[in-house]
Each structure stands twice: as C-alpha cells, then as structure tokens.
Chains A and B, each alone.
Chain A
Amino acid sequence: MEFLTRLLAATIAMGTSLMYATLGEVYTEKSGILNLGMEGTMLMGALAGFATALATGNLFLAIIMAMIIGGLMSLIHAFLCVTMRANQVVSGLAITMFGTGLANFLGQRLGPASNNYNLIGTNLQAKFDNIAIPFLQDIPILGAFFNVSILTYALYIIVPFSWFYMYKTKHGLAIRAVGESPKTAAAMGLSVFRIRYLYTIIGGMFAGLGGACLSLSFTPSWNDGMTGGKGWIVIALVIFATWNPGKAVIGTLIFGGITSLQFSLQAAGVRMVIPTQFLAFAPYLITFLTLSVMTIINQNRKGAYAAPSALATPFAIDDK
C-alpha cells in the first residue's frame, strides 16, 4: 500500500513535467510540425527556471522565464520549418543539440560567484512544495493526487481545457485541419503559417514549463543534462496518445509509472524478474509496437489513430 502510494506520488511528480511538455508537443504536431527539439527545449526551460529562482527567489518569475525561453527555442524551430521550409527532423535535432549544449554550458556560468559561477550544487531556497488537501489526501493510494505541487494542480484544469480546446472550439478545428490538409485549410481562409508558428511556440513554452517542473519541484537542483531523455519520452508519449490531449494523461501515467518504478527499484537495489533497464526502454518499445500495429490495422482508412497527415511536410502557399 505504502509502496503504491509512494510510487503514485513519484509518478505524478515526474508526470507533471512530462505532461506539460507532451501537451505542448501534441499541439505542435497536430498543426503539422514535428519538433524533435523537446529535450533541448526542456533542459533550457529547466535552466531558465532554476537560474531565475536562484537569482530572484521569485518562483512565479521563474516559471515565466522558463516559458519565455522555451518559446524562444521553438521560435527558432518554427522559423526554420515554417518560413524557411527546412527539414524538420534535422532542425529538431539541431535545436536539441544546441539547447542541451547551451543549457549545460550556461549551467556552469550563470551560478553565484561564490560557487565559481556554477549552478551545480547550489541550493534553492524557494521551490514548489506539495500542498495537501485535507481529507482528500487521506484516500488510500489515490490520495496521492491531492498532495501535489501547485504545478500539478494547475494541470488538473489545463489538461481538460486543452482537450476541450482541441476538439470543441473553432481554434482546435483549425489546428486539426492545418495538420491534416493544409491546402484545404488555406482554401478555407485559414493562415497555415500563423497557426503553425503559434502552436509551435506554445509547444515550446509548455516544454520549457515542463523542464522547469523538474528543476523547481521534482528534483530542485541543477545538474548537467537533468532532463535525462525525458524529452524523447515526450515524443513517444505523443505518438502513444495518438495525438490526443486526453489520452496523453493515461500515457503519462503509464510511462511515468514505468520510469518511476524503474528508479525506485534501482534505488532499492532490488533485482526483479524484469530488469530495470527493460523498464527504461519499455515506453519506447510499447510505442513502437502500438504505432506499427495500429498503422497495419488501419491500412485503408485513416482512423482517429493516425498521425496528422501533413506532419513534417512543408507547406508553400504558391504550390498550386
């Protein structure tokens, strides 16, 4: 029981970070842009948030900075992919490379002079602590959902809203049209450029926020490469959730759960039937299998399970 509750708590904590970034990437990909720069963007967000919090002690400001930096990273990606119609895969990888390198670099230069300008090893006074809701937090196991940081509580509203936005509003309709058939969307008067720019940047802002969740709440500290590949899990999550913000929650809990399980087992030095490394790659394997099977089954029909048809294809207005 105890173990399960603790596992759930860890899952939720890590899941918060994953969830923000996943939501962001869902929107980006739904509009047709593949952003493989998640890992770098999240790391930059984590850095921005941490550095700001350390310097100013203002958590709110830290979150804002993380989002701004995340947005800027994706702005570069948007510019390259939408305006300059560059190869989206290479662009994403370049952003990851750049973002990871820059974050690690600055992480050792933006710190207090007292610590040799290094952010590694500093202590954060202000951080996002858990806020417990009385009574609700005592529910066995599920109580873990009510003893979380404000960042997570925010998700309880943001996630349903983003599902609603995508499927029930006219903007969501526009995004989906742009990602499926940009020519049709353009013919109907929508600006493909504007929509793709907007949601790529928003995706980056959310990714930055997701990164900040790590450095300001989950493990309040700074370390080289502290996102540890979560950016790639986010990419897998988006596919696994079939580009649906609602399903992303389930995926996050599953993937987050597997990863948390992996860490707690490693920490406990427990040797299980399933080695912890298998848990580490399980999310990717699951995603691979699900994607392949679903594509094979849905051969002649594009069901709700397919990627946005125009994903990663550049769109030029003058292509008649």
Chain B
Amino acid sequence: MRIALEKRDSKSRKMAVIIPLASFVISLILGALVLAASRSNPLQAYQAMFNGAFGNARRFQYTIVEALPLLMCGLGVGIAFRLKFWNIGAEGQYVWGAIGITWVMQFWKFVPIPMLLPIGLLVGMILGALWAGVPGFLKAQWSVDETLTTLMLNYVAIGLAEYLYINAWKAPFGNMGTPEFPRETWLPPVWGKVHSGIYIALALVVILYFLLYKTRWGFELNMIGKNPRAARYQGVSIKKNIVIAMLLSGAICGLAGSVNTAAIAHRLTRGVDGGYGFTGIIIAWMSGLNPFASILVAFVMAALTTGADALQIAMRLPESMGEVLQGLVLIPLLAGSIFVEHRLVIIKKEAV
C-alpha cells in the first residue's frame, strides 16, 4: 500500500479556487499560533491588523498606495514568467527606475518642468529594460542561467543606488538622499493619499491583459512558455521573443520604481530597495500570470503590510508579523499547487 501522486486528466478548477482560500485560512491559524506563543492575543492582533489596513479611509488609502508598486512589479515579472523565464531581478530593475527618474530630475536641466515627470518615467523604464535585457540576451544567445544572473544583478543595482544617494548625488544637507524633486513634478493625488500612479498601474493591467491575451505576440509568448519546441516548428523565434519580453518586463518594474519614487519619496534615498521587486515575484506566481488576478493578490499582500504597521502602534507588536503572515500564506499555497494538476491515489500491492 502506498500513496502516490497521479496526473489528472484535466486541470481541476475546484482545486484552483480551494487551495488559495485554504492556504489563507491555514496561514491565519499558524500565525495565531505564533502570536499566542509570544504572549499576544491572536484575535486582538488580527483585529488590529484589519483595522490597520481597512479601518478608515486614510488607512485604506495607504493600503492602496502600498499595493501599487507591488502590482506593477508583479505585472512586470509576470511577463517573463509567461515564457518560463525566471526574472528574479525585479528588485534591481525597480531600483534602476528610481535611479532613472532621479537622474532626470536632478540633472536634465534642459527639460521644461512639465516634461520632467513623463521623461523621468520614460528614462526609468529604459534603464529597467536594459537591466533585464542583458540577462535575457545572455540566456537567449548562450543559455546562461537567468535565475542566477538576474538575482546577482539585483545587488549590483542596489549597491549602485546606495553609492548615488550617499555619495555622488547626495544633497548638500542632511545625512543622505538626493535633493528633493521639484514640487511640480510630484504625482498629484487622486483620492486622499492615493496618487495618480494608480492610473498608470491600472492602465498597465489593461494594456498587459490586452497584449498577453489578445495580440499575436501574446499568443506566441504563450506558445513559447508552454512548449518552445512546438513554437519553433510554427516559425516563432524563441531568441527574439525572450529578449523582447525581458526588455518589457524590466521596463515595467523600472516604471514601478520611477512612479513610486516620484510619488512617495520624491528623491533617491535609503529604502529604495523596499522589497517590492521580490514580493512582485511572489505576486506574479500567485496570480497565475493573470493581470487582473494580480490586482487582488497585490492588494492582499499590501493589506498584510499596512495591517502589520498598525500592529506596532496598537499592540506594540513588531511589524514583522506582516512578513510572517505573508510567508505563511505562501507555504501551504506552494504545497497545494501540485493538486491542481495531480491527485492523490492509493496504490494497492500490484499483482505479479
């Protein structure tokens, strides 16, 4: 008698819905255990987190603001994932976006003020694109493993950014950070704390949905991701598409960095590597590469973060609880992901 995993003959829709929900519940239970073990009341803590994320209009706005860069990075990474290309370099591409817009704001004095923002965003996209394009090209041309290259390049970007905001581009006063961007270039607010970056993010969702699901190119990407050999037989160029997809992926993550910098920090400074890139990878994976699903996932992850912020104030609990919960959601999700395509069977002793 043994238990084995057997491939199903069709994707289980049921599982695709049950697993994420079950994972969320499991994570709440496990999180409660952690809280209880550290002398805190789980119910109270969860209440505080919920309030922290959604309690009032302002908190809700903070949650949305937190979700925007997550969403964009998730979208960016998602494009690469479509090709089964592991773009782990989202964090670095995000940072380049921040660097790019800072560069424009600080040094491109010849640009008229109203144009600073759009050009800054564009430059951020280009730099992010290039940072992703290099590992993409290396993989397409010479099969250099993309997981490792993109991962390494993250820290090069982060280090470079640190050099810029501590050293080369530092504002004359204060400990660190570049000078503030001109006020006119700050992204105008849309609703309270929510800035107009939300338009960009939502536009991205629609554009990407269109690109991936409605265009010929999206069709080809799908083919390559699911069966590159068959794609080749149909005349699709694998190399070209890897590079293009990576450029686009990096551009979007870069855009996330530029937008967020223009909207929140208004300068390049410590904290630019806030983990949006890495979390974006997880969001891409969780949302099954569907841009609309990414909205929901990004929102939930953001809620966990802002909720955890409130924990610190309300119950003097470390905000790292948010990270704990985020990790805890993933673990059952990862374990359960196999059940969408496989099922458990019990094999009795086989006849000889």
Contacts and interface: CB of A to CB of B under 8 A. Distances in A.
Contacts of B322: 101
A108 interface: yes
Given A99-B327, A110-B38, A292 B144 contact: yes
B28 interface: no
A97 B160 contact: no
Interface in B139-195: 142-145, 147-149, 151-156, 158-160, 162-163, 166-168
- The binding surface of chain A is classed by DSSP as helix
Given A80-B334, A100-B320, A275-B167, A280 B285 contact: no
Contact of A104 (B5, B281, B318, B334): B318
B63 interface: no
Contact of B159 (A76, A97, A98, A277): A277
Nearest to B166: A277
Interface in B196-255: none
Which of A79, A90, A95 has its CB near the most chain B CB atoms (within 10 A)? A90
B278 interface: yes
Interface string A79-101: 11000111101110111111111
Contacts of B26: none
Contacts of B318: 104-105, 107-109
A66 interface: no
A102 to B, nearest CB: 5
Given A80-B331, A277-B163, A312-B147, A117 B39 contact: yes
Contacts of A34: 147
A103 B324 CA distance: 9
A7 to B, nearest CB: 20
A241 to B, nearest CB: 13
B299 interface: no
B294 interface: no
A90 B285 contact: yes
A231 to B, nearest CB: 12
A95 B323 CA distance: 10
A36 B318 CA distance: 24
Contact of B327 (A102, A235, A316, A318): A102
Nearest to B150: A288
A295 B337 CA distance: 32
Interface in A92-149: 93-110, 117
B279 to A, nearest CB: 8
Contact of B331 (A76, A109, A277, A278): A76
Given A34-B147, A281-B156, A307-B145, A101 B331 contact: no
Contacts of B38: 105-106, 109-110, 117
B115 interface: no
Nearest to A86: B334
Interface in B268-291: 278-279, 281-282, 285
B331 A87 contact: no
Given A87-B334, A291-B144, A278 B155 contact: no
Contacts of B143: 295, 299
Contacts of A295: 138, 142-145
Nearest to A238: B148
Contacts of B320: 100-105, 108, 224
Interface in A272-294: 275, 277-278, 280-281, 284-285, 287-288, 291-292
A104 B323 contact: yes
30 contacts: A34-B147, A80-B331, A84-B338, A86-B334, A89-B86, A89-B281, A93-B281, A98-B328, A98-B331, A104-B318, A105-B318, A108-B318, A224-B320, A239-B152, A275-B167, A277-B163, A278-B160, A278-B163, A280-B159, A281-B159, A281-B160, A288-B149, A291-B144, A291-B145, A291-B149, A292-B142, A299-B142, A316-B5, A318-B4, A318-B5
Given A97-B326, A101-B326, A291-B148, 20 more contacts: A84-B334, A87-B285, A87-B337, A89-B88, A93-B281, A97-B323, A97-B330, A98-B326, A100-B323, A102-B327, A104-B320, A239-B148, A277-B163, A277-B167, A284-B152, A288-B156, A291-B144, A291-B149, A295-B138, A296-B144
